[in-house]
Amino acid sequence: MSSTESTEALVRHERRDDGVDVITLANGKVNTLCVELLGQLHAVVTGPAADARAVVVTGGGKVFAAGAEITEFAERAGEEPFAVSPPTRVAEIGGAFRETLDAVAAIACPTVAAVNGFALGGGCELALACDLRVAASGARFGQPEILLGIIPGGGGTQRLARLVGPARAKDLVLSGRMVDASEAERLGLVDQVVDGDARDAAFAVAAGFARGPRHALALAKRAIDGGLEGSLDDGLALEQRLFVESFATPDATVGVSSFLRDGPGRAEFA
């Protein structure tokens, strides 16, 4: 395995020999998503991982991410140590979440969240920003912000509703309850539940994508994500435009020619 590890301490990046980029959160025991970590994550996904063929996002073997660093919402000055920060500071932190998780969602290749342990609040929102989610059987998911008298601010009300539907999203967001991996799978929040370490299964899924047609995969992802932002007619128009564009890629040259010459399923993409 070759490695290009980030010089920063809170996020690690490596590129495996099978073409999968691995982004690992490394912020203490529970991987709280402080502003510094979000900045480092943004730098990785827009920098060394930007040309990846497939990406796995993980928090390691014990926990994915337990959510935002709540102490960052405390007032930095004044006599009251438990006072809440003013709206300007809250907007600054919320903006860091929005910018970083949007950047994760915009990675051009397929992305897989490998969830061991807890994925709560911002941690669940980070998993939602990935294309697929593989969870260990002992994993737990939730959006508990309502229990603090606030609401999700990193996509929890939007990406979750688009993934599992508004009624199920409201159940999770309005109650703040946690769900185990099996319930998360039934809800459609998780795509695969495995015994043992979720990273092993996520690597296998991502490696399959890494062997695929990178240009076509990127266009297909753009079509699906972009189509959800407008009407059905807008989405179909986008699909047609990207369908035509796909025929001008090296993938089409290889794939269509291989089909005509050797039949289906024999193309090998660079």
154 touches 144 (CB < 8 A): no
96 touches 87 (CB < 8 A): no
Q: Which of 69, 75, 92, 125 is catalytic?
A: 125
Beta bridge partner(s), residue 67: none
Give the residue from 219, 220, 216 showing the smallest Cα distance to 251: 216
Clarify whether 229 is annotated catalytic: no
Give the residue from 39, 29, 35, 33 showing the smallest Cα distance to 6: 39
Clarify whether 125 is annotated catalytic: yes
Q: How many CB atoms lie within 10 A of CB 98?
A: 15
What is the C-alpha separation between 2 and 8, in angstroms, rounded? 18
**196 — phi, psi (to 5°)?**
85, -155
> Side chain identity at 239, as an amino acid letter?
E
Give the residue from 76, 107, 97, 111 showing the smallest Cα distance to 34: 97
What is the C-alpha separation between 109 and 208, in angstroms, rounded? 12
32 touches 69 (CB < 8 A): yes
Q: Is the C-alpha dihedral spanning 189, 62, 14, 26 positive or negative? A: positive
Q: Which of 8, 14, 79, 145 is catalytic?
A: 145
**The two three-digit tokens of residue 213, written as one number:** 């047609």
What is the C-alpha separation between 56 and 41, in angstroms, rounded? 13
What is the C-alpha separation between 4 and 44, in angstroms, rounded? 11
Question: Would you please indicate which residues are annotated as catalytic (active-site) residues?
Answer: 125, 145
